[in-house]
Amino acid sequence: MRIESPRIVSALPGLGVELRHGAALSELTSLGIGGITDLLRIKKHEAIPDLLNLLDANGIAHKFLGGGSNLLVGDGELPWVMLQLVRREPDVVLEGNFARVDAAADLGRTVTFCAKNDLGGMEGLIGVPGTVGGALRMNAGAYGMQIGSYVREVKVYRAAGCKIETLRGNQISFEYRHTSFAPDDMMLAVTLELPSKPFDEILQGIRICNEKRRSSQPLGQKSAGCIFKNPPGASAGRMIDELGLKGHSVGDARVSDRHANFFVNAGKACAKDMLALIADVRERVRKAYEVDLENEVIVWSV
Ligand code: EPU
**pTM, whole model, 2 decimals?**
0.97
Q: Give the pLDDT of residue 42.
A: 98
What pLDDT, on a 0 to 100 scale, did the predictor assign at position 253? 98
Residue 204: the pLDDT is 97
Residue nearest (by alpha carbon) to ligand 1 atom 32: 229
Cβ 146 under 6 angstroms from ligand 1: no
Mutate to test the pocket of ligand 1, among 137, 261, 281 (most ligand atoms within 8 A of CB): 261
Which residue has the CA at smallest separation from atom 12 of ligand 1?
238
| Structure confidence at residue 47 (pLDDT) | 96
10-residue mean pLDDT profile of the chain (302 residues): values are 95 98 98 98 97 96 97 98 97 98 98 98 96 97 97 96 96 97 96 98 97 97 98 98 98 98 98 98 98 98 92
Predicted local distance difference test score (pLDDT) of residue 245:
98
Q: Is 248 in the pocket of ligand 1 (CB under 6 A)?
A: no
CA–centroid distance, residue 139 to ligand 1 (Å): 16
Instruction: From the CA of 228, give the closest atom in ligand 1.
Output: 32
Position 1 scores a pLDDT of 95
Partners of 167 in the beta sheet?
154
User: How high is the pLDDT of residue 151?
Assistant: 98
